[in-house]
Amino acid sequence: MKVAFLASEVIPYAKTGGLADVAGALPKFLTGLGADVRVFMPFYREVGKKNLPLVSVIDSASLEVNGETLAYRVLAHCADGVTTYFVDRPEYFDRDQLYGTPAGDYPDNGERFGFFCRAALETMRTVGFPPDVIHAHDWQSALTFAYLKFPYAGDAFFGRTRTVFTIHNLAYQGLFDKAVLGSVGLPSSLFNMNDLEFFGQVNALKAGILYSSAVTTVSPRYSREIQTPAFGCGLDGLLRSRSGALHGILNGVDYRDWDPATDKLIPHKFAPADLAGKKVCRDELAREFGLAAPADLPVAGMVTRLAGQKGLDIVCEALDALLGLGLTLVILGTGEQKIQDFLLAAQKKHPKRIGLKIAFDERIAHTIYAGSDLFLIPSRYEPCGLTQMYAMKYGTVPVVRATGGLDDSVQEFDAKTGSGNGFKFAEAAPGPLVEAAGRAAAGFKRPAEWRTLVGNAMAADFSWSRSAAEYLALYKKLAAA
Ligand code: ADP
Ligand code: GLC
């Protein structure tokens, strides 16, 4: 089974969120199941800075787009049995960020990622890799399927190729002026509502939903939610029309990177049988952030994009009440200026109770997962969410809004039966968040009960093996059809 995997971010090369974790881990697990997976991503400036032993696969190639000749080359890197091909066109990808600056998205994102998709298809041809399945992720890779369906229709090289499109976040759709079609080499006739037009713009995500053999999203509950107006971001009707081809497959965790027993980024290793190291991590976290963090009151961590999706506004509104419960808060994040400003001011006011770092920092993230007692995720929507799964492995109890993958992966703790691995609340509002955090804070004061809960969280198994097998079964079903 030959699988070509397209994603705009992949660990360990480039990451802004969970897509990178998934696109880094899933190919390894598919390889372990016997698939031949090749990953395609852009050669960003930050990939170049990593000084990897890269191999040049295509020294010079070009695409004709709109009468212009656009040059590129292709580099490759192999790790854990998976080859990743990097599309290198400095004009498009040698930039400070992946998608844009704090001032906004790069204005040529349509051209950048359209080019990436087409160059990836041409690379498959040049290296002699006719895929059984092309699996593309999010809007940045979605135009792949518009190329296959139109300019590449009848191309014998892709004659047997089936296609899978995964939606990691329906809210990011890749919306552009209709002129983008010409600038990426797609027919302007696609600007109609049955193809890529969407409220007067071109919608790249629609190409993934419309033209792929199967559409997946990253949790069963989110696959149902996105077919409703409340979560459908204007595409619920289209998604309902494809419901027969739509699957929800829960993301997994690569426990080689996320296990407190082997994690090199945390102050002290620990395992379910001996949690002494977790206390060392907690003390070190408090020291690093200058927090008082009394031992009898819980430390609640957050590692998150500071964006509306993640319910940070709810946390801001609930802040005084959360402090009133006795919680110490530790937040690591980057994102919206007004959320940053609010949190920075709150931190100044309560320096011993609130720890805050505005940064994207892998080591600090691991330190927070390891050193916290609770983990807050009050998302307004959450396609899957990985941070609750990471937190659980580190014995850090999630307090989450019951939506999307958060609802699928967290079960409410029941002190009577000793079952469950976290706390949930239904409505995205400060009151319900504070109530759920209050249940957690009360449980924290009952050590025997808390030990059971922490044990349940650490025992939850979200390993990729199960989900990778589900993807492989889907590929096989499509290939056989
Ligand atoms: P999303 O992709 O919507 O941001 P996920 O929960 O799927 O949410 O994944 C977020 C990923 O990004 C996790 O690996 C998390 O640890 C990481 N992350 C988020 N913010 C930061 C940050 N400021 N520093 C380091 N890692 C972060
Ligand atoms: C998106 C979603 C997140 C999901 C991640 C990986 O960024 O917001 O919920 O876990 O993709 O699939």
214-217 and 201-203: which strand pairing?
unpaired
> Could you identify the atom of ligand 1 that is nearest to the CA of residue 362?
25
> Could you identify the atom of ligand 2 that is nearest to the CA of residue 19?
6
The pLDDT value given to residue 38 = 98
Structure tokens at 258: 């996320």
Residue nearest to atom 1 of ligand 2 (CA): 168
The pLDDT value given to residue 372 = 98
Could you tell me where the DSSP H helices lie in 227-306? 236-241, 276-289
Q: If you search the block for the tokens 């066109």, which residue do you land on?
A: 89
Dihedral of the CA atoms 119, 48, 137, 369 (nearest 10)?
Answer: 180
Q: Which ligand is nearest to the CA of 254?
A: 1
Ligand 1 and 363: CB distance under 6 A: no
Ligand 2 and 298: CB distance under 6 A: no
Ligand 2 and 386: CB distance under 6 A: yes
Rounded-to-integer distance, Cα 365 and Cα 371, Å: 10
Provide mean pLDDT across the span 53-61: 97
402-461 pLDDT, tens per residue?
999 999 999 999 999 999 999 999 999 999 999 999 999 999 999 999 999 999 999 999
Residues 6 or more apart from 151 whose CB is under 8 A from it? 185, 186, 187
233 backbone φψ class: left, alpha, beta (φ>0; ψ -120 to 50): left
- Cβ-contact 15, 7 below 8 angstroms: no
Q: If you search the block for the tokens 């698939």, which residue do you land on?
A: 35
Q: What are the beta bridge partners of residue 38? A: 4, 83
371-410 pLDDT, tens per residue?
999 999 999 999 999 999 999 999 999 999 999 999 999 9
Ligand 2 and 383: CB distance under 6 A: yes
Ligand 2 and 468: CB distance under 6 A: no
Dihedral of the CA atoms 263, 266, 269, 270 (nearest 10)?
Answer: -100
Provide mean pLDDT across the span 9-14: 98
Q: Which ligand is nearest to the CA of 11?
A: 1
Share of the chain above pLDDT 90, in %: 98
Residues 6 or more apart from 103 whose CB is under 8 A from it? none
Q: Where in the chain is CATH 3.40.50.2000?
A: 2-252+465-480, 276-461
What is residue 153's three-state secondary structure?
A: coil
Output the CA angle 217-115-1, nearest 5 degrees: 50
Q: Annotate 303-330 with b (16+ C-beta within 10 A) or e (fewer).
A: bbbbbbbbbbbbbbbbbebbbebebbbb
Rounded-to-integer distance, Cα 261 and Cα 266, Å: 10
Q: Phi/psi at 102 (nearest 5 deg)?
A: -55, -25
DSSP 8-state secondary structure symbol assigned to residue 14: B
Provide mean pLDDT across the span 54-58: 97
Q: Which CATH architecture fits 2-252+465-480? A: 3-Layer(aba) Sandwich (3.40)
Could you tell me where the DSSP H helices lie in 40-169? 45-48, 90-93, 109-126, 138-149
- Cβ-contact 132, 138 below 8 angstroms: no
pTM strictly above 0.95? yes
- Strand (E) or helix (H) holding 81: none
Report CA Rg, the chain: 23
Question: Around 22, how many Cα atoms within 13 Å sit in the side-chain half-sphere?
Answer: 32
Residue nearest to atom 5 of ligand 2 (CA): 18
pLDDT at 327 over 80: yes
170-217 pLDDT, tens per residue?
999 999 999 999 999 999 999 999 999 999 999 999 999 999 999 999
**What number of other Cβ atoms are within 10 A of residue 193's Cβ?**
10
Q: If you search the block for the tokens 């004061």, which residue do you land on?
A: 445
Share of the chain above pLDDT 70, in %: 100
The pLDDT value given to residue 103 = 80
Rounded-to-integer distance, Cα 380 and Cα 394, Å: 24
The better pLDDT of the pair 433, 102 is held by 433
The pLDDT value given to residue 85 = 98
Specify the amino acid at residue 444. F
Ligand 1 centroid to 387 CA: how many Å?
7
The pLDDT value given to residue 66 = 86
Question: Under CATH, to which class is 276-461 assigned?
Answer: alpha beta
pLDDT at 102 over 80: no
207-264 pLDDT, tens per residue?
999 999 999 999 999 999 999 999 999 999 999 999 999 999 999 999 999 999 999 9
> Could you identify the atom of ligand 2 that is nearest to the CA of residue 168?
11
The burial class, CB within 10 Å (0-12 / 13-18 / 19+), for 142 is: buried
pLDDT, the chain, mean: 97
Estimate the share of the chain in helix, then strand, then coil, as percent rounded to the nearest 5: 40, 25, 35
